[in-house]
Structures are given as C-alpha cells and as structure tokens.
Amino acid sequence: MKPVSTNFPRITGVRTESVHLEEPFADMAARFAHEPGAVVLLSGGDLDCARYHILGIHPWLSLTGWPGETTVVIDGTTHVASQAPLDCLETVLACCRLNLGDTVGPVAAGLFGYLSYDLKDGLEILPRTTLDDLGLPQLCFFAPSLIVVHDKASGATEVHAPVRQGQERNVVSAAIEDFKHALRSPPLPSGEFSGTGQSLTSNFTRSDFTSSVKRIKEYIAAGDVYQVNMSQRFEMGFEGNSYSLFKALYQMNPAPFFAYVNAGDHQIVSTSPERFLLRNGSRIETRPIKGTRPRGKTPEEDREMKSALAHSPKDDAELSMIVDLLRNDIGKVCAGGSVVVAQHKRLEAYQNVYHLVSVVEGTLAERKDSVDLIRATFPGGSITGCPKIRSMEIIDELETLRRHVYTGSIGYISFHDTMDLSVAIRTATIIGNRLVFSVGGGIVYDSDPEDEYEETLHKGQTLMSVLTQSRDKPANGTASGIWVWQDGRLIRQEQATVAVSDLGLQYGFGFFETIRVEKGHACRLRAHLNRFNRTWSALFGGVPPDLTWKAIVAQVIEKNSLGDAPVALKILATRGDESRTRYRGSLLVTARPYTHRLTALGATGLKLATYPHRRMSPLADHKTLNYLYYHQAAAWAREKGADEAVVRNPDGTFSETNSASILVVSGKTVTRPRSSHVLPGVMQAAVCRRLRAMGFSIEDRPIGSDAVLDADTVLLTNALMGAVPALSLDNRHLKCDNSLAASLNSNLFNPTEVGGGLR
C-alpha cells in the first residue's frame, strides 16, 4: 500500500466571499446539519473567547482513527494507513499546509471534528481495563469544502472554499453559489426529538460512586495523587433530530464552545464552557476551569454564590494545581520562558453557573506544530487530575466504561497554523437509538462522597431536563423502568444478578422458552411449560419447580405496562453451582415489546440459505459461553472413572478433550489433530514452539485411536496445566515420556519467559 501522503492533493489557496444571513446562524446551519461530515461550532455568551460562529460542510476528506490504524477517505476513495491516529493527523496537516498569514479569520481551511479521551493510550503507557461498548473511533475529523465564519463582533459573515491542486476554479465557484442558493430556499422545519424509555440509567449506583470517591481519597492520603476527576455515565433511548436537541440546549444555556458533529453513524452534541487549546500562529493559550457554583435565584443569593466561589480555598487550590500542570504541559513545546499565567482565578458568569477560570499563555517553539502541542498536553489536566498519568490510571481502575469523546476535545485544526479545541464536557453522543453522556468532578482529600455524587447530577441537569421533559430525575441515577421476575420477586432489570459460580454463566448450562403474549394472554403457555419441564428433568434432574406461571407472567406484563401490545416473554433457567443436593440456580422472566419479523423487514417472507457446517459446531472455533457440550462430556468421563473425555469428530477422528488440546508424539514428529472446527490452543502453540526448538517437526493431520495407542507420548495442553501426559485411553495403557513433559513445563509459566505482564 502506498503511503497515505502520496494520495493527498495539495491546497493551493482559499476563495473567500462575503454573505449576508437573513436568519440566526444556528438556523442557517440547520439546513446542512443532517449531512454526514457537517460540523457546527457556536459561541454563546459575550466572553472574549466566544466571538465566532463556524460551520463546516461538504467534506472532501474524512479521517477516522483507531489504535494502530487510520482510515482516510478522499473524494469517496478509501485509504487505510497502518499509522496511529495522531501520526496520520500530522501527515494530513503537513501535506495540506497553507501559508495565509493574517489575511483570514480563525479558520479558512482545515479539519473539524473531535479527539477522543481514549487517545491517551497512544500517548502514555496506561492500563486498559474499561469496556469500549460504543466502538467509535478515537479520532474523527472532516475537511470541509466550505467553511462559513460569522464574526459576532463585526456582524460579518464569510464563506471560505479551499482550492485544491488540479481543481477547476469553476468547481469552487459553483460550490459557493450552491451554498448561497440554499440560503435563499425556505427554512427547514424544526425536527422533533425526545428521550425514550422510562428514565436515565447510569453505569454507577449511588453507593458504587461514593465508594469510588472514598477509594480516591485513600489514594490521596497515601500520596499517590492530589486530585482525580471521577465521572459517571448516563444513558437513555433517543429518537428524532439530534441537531434540534443541540439547538434547544443552546437556547437554554449558551456557552462559549457549543459543538455539533455529524459523524454519519453517530452525532456529538457538546455544550462545553472550557477551552482546551487555542493556537494563533505561534501564540498558545489554554483556559482551565476549576470551581463551579450555581447562579442564585435572587440578586442577594447570586452575590453570595459568587463571593463563595471567589473566596473558596478548596477551589483556589484545585485551580492552582491544574494551572501548574498545564504550564508544565505546554512548556514542553513552547519557547523557554514564554509560558505565563496571564490571568488567574477569573470569575466568569454563565446563565446557570459561575466558574473560576485561569488563562495560561505561551509561544510555540520553532519547528513545533499543532500535533506536537496536542501530544504534549492531551488529555487536558483539568479533567484528569494531578499528577496526570497516575490520575488516569486510577480513572481507568474505577470507571467501568471508556469515556470516548467525553473529556476529549472538539473543534478545528486549520491548515494555516490556527487551532481552537474545547474540553468535551457536558457532551452527549447519539449512536443508533441511544444517547449517552458523562458527568464528573474533581475529587480532593476533603471531598464529601455524597456531595460529589449530587454534584454530578446537578451538572448534568440541563441535559437531563431536556431529555426527560416533565419526568422525574432517576432515583439514585440508576432506575431503568424495566422490571423482571427473578426467583420469586419483581425487581428492576439492573438489580437482576447471576452468581459468578453459576454454571449458566460459566458454561451456558441453562435453557429458556420464548412465548408470545397477546393482550395479556400467553399463547400456548401449557405446551411451552410441558417442554420446559421435560428439559428441566433431562438436564437438571429432579422435579421441575411448582409455580403458577400464568400468574407470574401476568405480574411481569402488568408491571411493565405491556398489556395492550404484542410482547416477547422469556422464561429462563440457569443451573446454579455443582450442588447435587438441591437446585441453586436462577429462574427469570423478562418481557419486551415485540415487532413481527416481516413487519420489521418490510417483506412478505424470509430468505433462506443452506448452512455448510455439518461436522462439529463452528462455535468450537471460539470460547463461547456455551460450554455445556464439554461439561456434559466431563461428567460422563467421571462416571466412567476417567479424568478427561476425548472429543471425536463425526468421522471418528480425534479432536480434543473436554478441557485440553491434544499433541501426539512419535519419534521426532509431533502431530496436532486436524479437525474442521476446534479451538486453537494458546498453550498448544506455545508447547509446539518449544518442541520445534528441541528438534521436533510439527504436522497437522487427522488422527484416530490407533495413532494415540501407538504414540510414544500423548500430551494434553491447556492454559492452566501446561503440558500433561496421558496415561491411558479407554482403559488401555499409553506409553509415556514424563521427562519430555517436565522439560516442556520448565519456566512455562514464568512471566519473564512468556510476556506475562498485565498489559
């Protein structure tokens, strides 16, 4: 594959024209916000950092990056680079660089989008123990063909069109004329939006969050850190127009760094008040925020809140700490002696809150660029903690889900040495029919866990109130509104649990019945229960539970308010632990609205195809939760007085045992059983590497019982026991070389030998 840089057309200039807007900028931008790649940056309020409204549309290039791989799409042609996202970003900026001097405003050509917080993993050596449940890129930028900039101070609006090498000039002119024509067309009607479901859910309960705050305080007491930013993530269903949500939030509480990014398969809605990085030529600026108070309901109360924030020792200490951190970060790429705190503890008034803000400035060193600045400072210290690296380690330990764009950055990076990025707080991501947003705060030694939890709810209240409308806020921030029946009681879905020792979790040892319910009536309930009971007796043994299932079904339907709609109801049983004295599993009943398959597909029937796998299940290629087949084989082996059961293929050849891979050693040849579907053994591969080093040759071919019986040694391997010789097969003695197994196992579990670190 050719280097990505060879595919970039150079930018030769920018064509700029003035336009007159007959409507507010946010309404004008609504005409284009539905288009993938559209980015809207609105500056609310009258602070000195809130001067420009900016719109980028019709991207000719997109840049999306994951660890170790970045995808670049240029005029519809896709290029995949085996580069880290920031490396590829630097390549794009270098190839498209323009020298415009001071002839334009903040941005006339460049990239618009976001940097996810998770880019930190490419900048520092950090643990990765949180779950990436969104699967979105760590970096997402678009290069617009048209950039509209409105100067709130002068009232002037300009549209900029980058001119690319080899591009016909009339193409650029036509793009600008098409934009002007769109402005003359009737305005688009405002789209509706709403949160769906009963209420918001959180990845933390109140008690879990407060326990995490207490853990952070223990780290502070131990001297690990001074402060850590802890957050919780909320989620609810969403339907409708995401840009309409953006506009509604802007009208409620305009802040300097409102941003809307339509990334195609997801949208970002950000209402941030905080600037992360500003670059204008060599001038660098960052504006950390630490310290927040709500606005008072009366003038006197408002003055009291303002004074309390201005004179708070705790907020002063936090802000000073973060200012020092950011001075150090930008100092890595700034000229010596140029970094100064231009303003400290500036009190800024917003519609709903007061903030304490500092302004730190510096001069970018020669031969340093925007990506160098990002690498030196990302993610911002105000939303990680101090010291930054240890704080990020603790965040990863205590938070359960990856933050993605939350506490990352949103804005633009121009091709002509300007940049403005916000800190992505008060930011929501809409993906599919889900909306997620996180809220956090800085934890210090004297933080009160309950107060910190309440502060997260307070900070997120603006977005919560828009989404939930007249609904109450969630109790403890966790209630989903979905109810299930488990083991005799109705509980909320998030309270339902299955023990770690339950074989239903460990091996998929369980079963279920799915029943359609119409207007509260469970269709063919008796037939379903007869089959349920037959399966119970066959797999679990003993007497099936004596329950009035009809009454239980009615309770679940009523509790979930599903009486009138078609419902998919599931009765599920898990085995529990290995106890033979009594049943210790879980019984659950769940219900959800049901839409018929043909209705969902918009079709009159289903298309069928013949599945080619006729041998072992293709699931044997992977370690799925459904290990019931192997569990039953092991139980059978124990009944026969054996330790392991040999699994055979339909043609009678051997595959593996119920818990181990097989290696057959004859002379200096080692044979791995070849089967259509078998789990590739990690330990088996490690043992084979050692055998090769000892002079053995390795081959893959089908084997049967004769090959095992004639072998010099049969080895069983798995990740726990290493390599263990087999002693007999079906009560027939096997030859055994114990010294070979001992040699193979030497240092086999030594971390220094096998890369056994935690990363």
Listing DSSP states for 413-473 in one string gives EESSSEEEEEE--SEEEEETTEEEEEEEEEE-TT--HHHHHHHHHHHTHHHHHHHHTTSPP
Axis crossing angle, helix 313-331 with helix 370-377, rounded to the nearest 10: 140
**Token digits of residue 566:** 């078609």
Catalytic residue among 217, 290, 345, 459: 290
* Angle, alpha carbons 308-356-273 (nearest 5°): 130
The number of CA neighbours under 13 Å toward the Cβ of 171 is: 10
Catalytic residue among 90, 235, 274, 452: 274
Percent of the chain as helix, strand, coil, to the nearest 5: 30, 30, 40
The number of CA neighbours under 13 Å toward the Cβ of 381 is: 28
Give 482-487 contacts, CB < 8 A, sequence gap 24+: 482/198, 482/560, 483/556, 483/559, 483/560, 484/556, 484/588, 484/589, 484/590, 485/552, 485/555, 485/556, 485/587, 485/588, 485/589, 486/586, 486/587, 486/588, 486/589, 487/586, 487/587, 487/588
Beta strands in 519-630 (DSSP E): 521-522, 567-574, 587-593
274 annotated active-site: yes
Nearest Cα residue to 519 out of 594, 598, 602: 594
Amino acid at 721: M
How far, in Å, CA of 315 to CA of 308, rounded? 10
Three-state secondary structure call for residue 356: strand
- The separation between CA 284 and the C-alpha centre of its own chain, rounded to angstroms, equals 31
* Angle, alpha carbons 398-400-403 (nearest 5°): 100
306 annotated active-site: no
Contacts of 374 (CB under 8 A, 6+ apart): 86, 115, 277, 409, 421
**Pairing mode of beta strands 669-673, 697-701:** parallel
Count CB atoms within 10 A of the CB of residue 338: 16
Instruction: Tell me how far CA of residue 526 lies from CA of 523, 529, 567, 758, in angstroms.
Output: 9, 5, 17, 52
Three-state secondary structure call for residue 253: coil
Spatial contact of 439 and 202, defined as CB atoms under 8 Å apart? no
How many residues can be counted in the chain?
A: 759
How far, in Å, CA of 615 to CA of 680, rounded? 17
**Pairing mode of beta strands 283-286, 275-280:** antiparallel
Nearest Cα residue to 96 out of 172, 4, 160: 4
> H-helix or E-strand containing 666?
strand 661-666
How far, in Å, CA of 298 to CA of 759, rounded? 54
Spatial contact of 38 and 56, defined as CB atoms under 8 Å apart? yes
Nearest Cα residue to 60 out of 34, 82, 91, 92: 92
How far, in Å, CA of 50 to CA of 357, rounded? 14
Three-state secondary structure call for residue 161: strand
Instruction: Tell me how far CA of residue 10 lies from CA of 7, 93, 110, 163, in angstroms.
Output: 10, 10, 12, 9
> H-helix or E-strand containing 248?
helix 242-252
How far, in Å, CA of 723 to CA of 738, rounded? 10
Three-state secondary structure call for residue 261: strand
Please give the positions annotated as active site.
274, 290
